[in-house]
Amino acid sequence: MVSSVDDALVQAREAAELYASNGSVASAVFHADKARTLSDGDARDVFALTELLVRDGQHARALGVLRASGLDLKLARGRLLAARCLHGMRSHEEAVRALDGGAEENSDDDARARYLALADGSPTDAAAMCALRGKAHEAMESRSKAVRAYEMALRFDPMCFEAFEALLATHLVNEHEERELVASLETNKANTWIKDVYAVMGNSREVHSELARGHVEGEEDGATTPEPSTSALDVLRYNGDVRVACARRMYQRGEFTACHSELRRQFEREPSRLNGLPLYLATLVELGKKNDLYLLSHSLVAEYPKKAVTWFAIGCYYMVTRQFDSARKYFSKATSIDPSFVQAWIGYGHAFAAQDESDQAMAAYRTATRLFSGTHIPVMSLGMEYQRTNNLSLAFQFFRKAFEMCDSDPLLFNEYGVLRYRQGNYEEAVENFERALDLAPKPVGSRWESLIVNLAQAFRKIGRYDEAIATFQSALLISPRNASTYAALAFTYQMKSRCSEPVSLGLAIEYYHKALSLRADDAFSQHHLELALIDQSAITIPRHQQVEWDTMFPKVEDINAVTPTFGIASSPQGGILFPTPSPHSFQGTPTFGQTPFSARVDRMDESVDMDQSVDMDESE
């Protein structure tokens, strides 16, 4: 018995849908192709076959099916599918032309009306077309047009996460622009929660949302079930994307242990979640957990050998073990697999910088700046490299540019404070160090110990010795075995003793001894300890009795009868003959004049002032 066309068509359509739902794409394509033939090119079957072919990566065949039916020009769905096929074939210019339907309009209102018309009046289809247009422009490195297309997609439909994710992944907008975009989204009562989710998942450090809280109250290391709630935000607080976003803010604040714990809990629930892996790897680098990096890298090689994050993980392991040549090799491989992997580009530059290869490091940072124009990390890294090579004018320009992108990074304020210090603008250096300290996480950890030392050095330079001493002592509470901090504290006491309190010399000597007990070969502490001891001797040894000069010269025979004692000859008349100046016969302190002490102040600045650190980000 032969089946009728109608019965065969129904069976073919059902089989295509069933196999598509269970992941058997090849079987689904086979039956969808038969359904298209049986229906004589019905639009429903053409679209079903085309979508399956796109899903299977057969873009050229899918485009041929669409063009043969003529639906690529008649309907918005066909136009969108044709553009997807062209984008998959890397024909980006043709994809843009297919989506624009001609020339792109200049004003936003005209463009919005035109795109909505091309989408047959459907805001959802218009948003999808704009998002695809943005991807095509980004592939052609027309970043300004890509940003405009993504923003247009979100204004058509704020639920179009594809557009928002593209803006985040490649850092096409800075933090200020991102906050403005999220605030401008038009939502209704049912989907207003999406603005909170976007705000938390964004790259901006300033978030005003209940979802931005770090650890969920009552949550332990094991999995928990949230209590029933009628508020969408209360339930969404347990979502994986929100938890990863909260962990990223912990990392940005320098709370690496808390970030590590949060991510570990999330990965126990969702072991296959890849979007939090770069952050987790960066946290392991900051904590120095090389064993965890080693095991995780091996598991990623076995599971995802073609993913860029796998080779980024191996590069992170070699960074922790200080094998920078190998780290560069694997970071480079990660960028070749995925050129939009911003963390790999930053790590690539850091690996060069760790070996003082400034030219190659700056080349990597410049590439990252060009590809990811919305993040300040590569720009700040360029400024740090120029500062390290003593090109302060260029360092100043890059730091100012970084401030335009982000004004809430404590590391940026610290590095700019170092620059102003080196330029001799100590008051402004103090302002930037204090601002960095305000932005740093509380309580201040060992990561920011160098910032506190920098602030103390700037206080010393402007003569605020009491504040400098208190700040140095705060740094010693964080890192009590830092010889350079003890030497800097001793030097501050020594400077204070010269200006107002001679009794501070005793404390200076004490702290010089502590510095030398921790680092016996510290030439600075040795030299200034000697000077402090000389000054202390001048204060504590009693002054010699002042005597009158005897201008009556004795006879020669009287001189021969005199036995000199300790370099001073006594005459029978009781006068002093040929006085020999003793090195201890001064009434003042010789170090107040032009001595080696005053010439060594610059050396002090070089040895203990600024511990300039390079942060591995963000990645950022």
In tens, the pLDDT along 40-99 reads 888 889 989 998 999 888 999 999 988 888 877 778 888 888 999 999 998 988 888 888
pLDDT value, residue 327? 94
pLDDT value, residue 192? 85
User: Domain for residue 599, yes or no?
Assistant: no
Rounded Cα gap, residues 457 and 480, in angstroms: 17
Rounded Cα gap, residues 312 and 330, in angstroms: 6
Residue 163 has pLDDT above 60, yes or no: yes
pLDDT value, residue 490? 93
Rounded Cα gap, residues 55 and 391, in angstroms: 52
Phi, psi of 212 (to 5 degrees): -80, 0
Residue 329 maps to which CATH number? 1.25.40.10
Comparison of pLDDT for 271 and 139, the residue scoring more: 139
Q: What six digits make up the tokens of 422?
A: 């080196």
User: Domain for residue 89, yes or no?
Assistant: no
Rounded Cα gap, residues 532 and 526, in angstroms: 10
User: Domain for residue 611, yes or no?
Assistant: no
Are 331 and 348 part of one and the same domain? yes
Are 464 and 486 part of one and the same domain? no
Rounded Cα gap, residues 617 and 344, in angstroms: 10
pLDDT value, residue 585? 31
In tens, the pLDDT along 257-303 reads 889 999 999 888 887 678 889 999 999 999 999 999 999 999 999 99
Are 471 and 509 part of one and the same domain? no
Are 345 and 421 part of one and the same domain? no
Are 307 and 347 part of one and the same domain? yes
Strands 576-577 and 569-570: antiparallel
Rounded Cα gap, residues 127 and 197, in angstroms: 19
**Most confidently modeled range among 209-218, 226-235, 533-542:** 533-542
Specify the residue for token string 């302060």: 392
pLDDT value, residue 542? 60
pLDDT value, residue 271? 77
Name the nearest CA neighbour of 447 among 410, 490, 484.
410
State in Å, rounded, how far the first CA of the chain is from the last one.
66
User: Domain for residue 518, yes or no?
Assistant: yes
- Strand, coil or helix: 245: helix
pLDDT value, residue 22? 86
Question: Which pairs with CB-CB distance under 8 Å and at least 24 residues apart come from 30-38?
Answer: 34/8, 35/9, 36/65, 38/5, 38/8, 38/9, 38/12
Are 347 and 389 part of one and the same domain? yes
Q: What six digits make up the tokens of 305?
A: 């050998």
In tens, the pLDDT along 534-583 reads 888 877 666 555 555 454 545 544 434 434 433 333 333 333 333 333 33
Are 309 and 388 part of one and the same domain? yes
Are 468 and 485 part of one and the same domain? no
Residue 468 has pLDDT above 90, yes or no: yes
Last residue of a domain, one of 335, 359, 394: 394
Phi, psi of 103 (to 5 degrees): -95, 145
Residue 433 has pLDDT above 90, yes or no: yes
User: Domain for residue 206, yes or no?
Assistant: no
pLDDT value, residue 502? 72
Structural domain of residue 516, as residue ranges? 481-539
Helical residues (DSSP H) of 253-323, grouped into ranges: 256-269, 277-287, 290-303, 308-320
Question: What does the pLDDT average to over 586-603?
Answer: 29
Phi, psi of 194 (to 5 degrees): -65, -30
Are 365 and 312 part of one and the same domain? yes
User: Domain for residue 515, yes or no?
Assistant: yes
- Strand, coil or helix: 570: strand
Rounded Cα gap, residues 98 and 106, in angstroms: 18
pLDDT value, residue 432? 95
pLDDT value, residue 349? 93
pLDDT value, residue 2? 56
- Give 410's contacts (C-beta < 8 A, 6+ positions apart): 254, 435, 436, 437, 439, 440, 448, 451
Q: What six digits make up the tokens of 57?
A: 């990566």
Residue 177 has pLDDT above 90, yes or no: no
pLDDT value, residue 446? 80
Q: How many CA atoms lie within 13 A of 409 on its CB side?
A: 27
User: Domain for residue 438, yes or no?
Assistant: yes
**426: confidence class by pLDDT, cuts 50, 70, 90:** very high
Q: What six digits make up the tokens of 408?
A: 């809430």
Are 328 and 385 part of one and the same domain? yes
pLDDT value, residue 100? 80
Contact 282, 618 (CB under 8 A): yes
* Element spanning 569, H or E: strand 569-570
Q: Which of 207-211, 217-221, 470-474 has the lowest average pLDDT?
A: 217-221
User: Domain for residue 510, yes or no?
Assistant: yes
Name the nearest CA neighbour of 367 among 391, 392, 349, 389.
349
Residue 617 has pLDDT above 60, yes or no: no
What's the gap between Cα 597 and its chain centre?
A: 40
Percent of the chain past pLDDT 90, that is, above it, reads 40
Amino acid 94 reads E
Are 488 and 461 part of one and the same domain? no
Last residue of a domain, one of 327, 360, 394: 394
Contact 146, 87 (CB under 8 A): no
Report the domain count for the chain.
3
Last residue of a domain, one of 464, 480, 496: 480
Are 417 and 474 part of one and the same domain? yes
Question: What does the pLDDT average to over 428-455?
Answer: 89
Please provide the average confidence, as pLDDT, over all residues in the chain. 81
**Most confidently modeled range among 368-382, 554-568, 603-617:** 368-382
